[in-house]
Amino acid sequence: MPAIVIVGAQWGDEGKGKATDLLGSRVDYVVKFNGGNNAGHTVVIGDEKYALHLLPSGILTPGCTPVIGNGVVIDLGVLFEEIDGLEARGVDTSRLVVSANAHVITEYHRTLDKVTERFLGSRRIGTTGRGIGPTYGDKMNRLGIRVQDLFDDKILQQKVEGALELKNQLLTKVYNRRSLSAESVVEELAQYRDRLRPMVADTSLLLNDALKQGDTVLLEAGQATLLDVDHGTYPFVTSSSATAGGACTGSGIPPTAVDRVIGIVKAYATRVGEGPFPTELFDDDGERLRRNGGEFGTTTGRPRRCGWYDAPVARYAARINGVTDFVLTKLDVLTGWERIPVCVAYDVDGERVEEMPVTQTGFHHAKPIYEYFDGWQEDISAARSLHDLPKNAQNYVAALEAMSGSRISAIGVGPDRDETIVLHDLLESD
Ligand code: GDP
Ligand code: IMO
Ligand code: MG
C-alpha cells in the first residue's frame, strides 16, 4: 500500500487536521514531517474539540500509529504537555514514535525568535514566537541538537556549549539580553530523557518496513505551500519544507512510494502573520468571513487575515505539490453572500498575469482580477452529496475545480468529521 501526502494549498489553517482525522481510521501511520508547535490543528469529533500542535492528527484514531518524523522540530515541554492533556481526556498516546534525528527547540531558540522579531520592527515576519526559525537555522548551520543527543551526556554537553558560544554573543552583545548557561539548557532537555527514550526510533526504517508489508502511511504537512521556505512568499514564510517534496526529506520515505497528494484548500483564503495577500479584505466582508469561519489562530489566538479564493495560488499549489485531489473546506462559511468574488488572475503593474508572479515585488504589486459567482442562502451543513447543495454552490465548486488545476474529491460543510461530502475516495486511485 502507498504513502499519501496531505498538504496545505494556501497560507495554512485550511483544515488539514480535520482531513487527516477523517482518513485516520483507514491508515496505519500518520506522520508529521515538518514544522513544530507553530502548527495548530483543530479537530472536532462530536462534542469534543481537540487542538493539536506537535502531535500528528492521527493520534486521535485508535489503532493508528502517530509518528514525529526527522523533519520536525520538537519543543519537548510542549510535546509532553500535549500528551498529558490528551491522556487526561482518555486518548491513548502510547503508540507515538519519535525520530532520533528530529531537532529539539531549546530556550535560546525561543528567546532568539522573539528578540529577532522585535529587532526587525516593521520588517518582522509575524512568527508564532515558538523558536521555529532559529532551530531550523541551527539545523542548517550544523549547530543543532537532535533527539538522539539527549541520550549521550558528553555529546549533549559539548553540543550545547558549542551552540551557546555563539548564541551568548548574540544575546548579550546584539540583543542586550542575559547569557544562558550550558547547565540550564542541558537540564531543561535532560528532564524529558526518561519519558522520551521508549518513543525514539529510526522512523525512516519503521515507515519503509511498514510500506513494504502493505501498510498505508499518511504524511501530514504543517503550514502550507505559500509558507514553504523554498516555494512560499519568501521571506514571509516558515523555515521548513511544507510542500510534498518535504514529506520525503522530512520522513525518509522515497518519492517513488508516494501515490497520492491531497491538497487542502479553503473555499476562501486566510493568512496569519505578515506578508503579501492579494485578495485580503479590509471591509465588512473580511470581518464577516472571520466571524463566520471562526478565523482566529489555534496557536496564537491572532485574528486571521481573510480574503476571497485565489485561483492562481491554488493552481500554483497543484503544480508544486503534484496535487492529485483537492479537499475544498469551509464551503459552509460562504453561505449568505449575494455574490462571491473569485480571483482568477492578477493585474501586475498593468499586465494580466495568470500564474504566481516570478518576483517578490511582482507578488506585492499583484491586484486581484475577480470573476463573480451567484451565492446561496440555504444552510448547507447537512449536505452529504453534491446534489444536496444548492445549484449556485454546485456552480461555485465546479468553477473552482476548473480553475485550480486538479479535481475536488471532498467538500467540507462544517467542522465535524461527518460534515463532509465525499466525491471520490481519497485513498483509492481511480
Ligand atoms: P489546519 O491547521 O489546516 O489543520 O486548520 P486549523 O485547524 O488551524 O483551522 C481550520 C478550522 O476550520 C478548524 O477550527 C476546523 O475545526 C475548522 N474546519 C475544518 N473544516 C471545516 C469546514 O468544512 N467547515 C467549517 N465551518 N469549519 C471547518
Ligand atoms: P498550520 O499547520 C498559519 C506563519 C506565522 C508566520 C510565519 C512564520 O496550523 O496551518 P514561524 O513561527 O513558523 O516561524 O512563523 O508562518 N505560520 C502559520 N500560519 N498556520 C500555520 O500552521 C502556521 N505556522 C506558521 O504566522 O507568518
Ligand atoms: Mg492551523
Section 422-430 average pLDDT = 86
DSSP state of 337: -
Q: What is the pTM of this model?
A: 0.97
Which residue has a Cα nearest atom 18 of ligand 1?
415
The set of residues, in sequence order, having a beta carbon less than 8 Å from that of 345 and lying 6+ positions away, is 311, 312, 352, 353, 354, 369
Binding pocket residue ranges, ligand 1, CB within 6 Å: 8, 12-18, 40-42, 44, 294, 298, 329-330, 332-333, 412-415
Q: What is the pLDDT of residues 39-58, one digit of tens each?
A: 999 999 999 999 999 999 99
Return the exposure string of 168-202: e unless at least 16 CB atoms fall within 10 Å of the residue's CB, then b: bebbeeeeebeebebeebbebbeebeeebeebbeb
143 CA distance to ligand 1 middle (Å): 36
The owner of cell 558560544 is 165
pLDDT at position 430 is 62
Residue type for position 276? P
Which residue has a Cα nearest atom 9 of ligand 1?
13
Section 111-116 average pLDDT = 96
Section 181-191 average pLDDT = 96
Mutate to test the pocket of ligand 1, among 42, 48, 271 (most ligand atoms within 8 A of CB): 42
271 CA distance to ligand 2 middle (Å): 9
Q: What is the pLDDT of residues 61-75, one digit of tens each?
A: 999 999 999 999 999
Instruction: Identify the helix (H) or strand (E) that includes residue 112.
Output: helix 107-120
Q: What is the pLDDT of residues 293-326, one digit of tens each?
A: 999 988 788 899 999 999 999 999 999 999 999 9
Which residue has a Cα nearest atom 26 of ligand 1?
414
Mutate to test the pocket of ligand 1, among 21, 306, 327, 329 (most ligand atoms within 8 A of CB): 329
Quickly state the pLDDT bin for 1 (edges 50, 70, 90): low
β partners of residue 31: 67, 219
Task: In whole angstroms, give the CA distance from residue 219 to residue 7.
Answer: 9
The answer to whether 408 and 401 have CB atoms below 8 angstroms apart is yes
Ligand 2 pocket residue status of 105, Cβ below 6 Å: no
Which residue has a Cα nearest atom 25 of ligand 2?
38
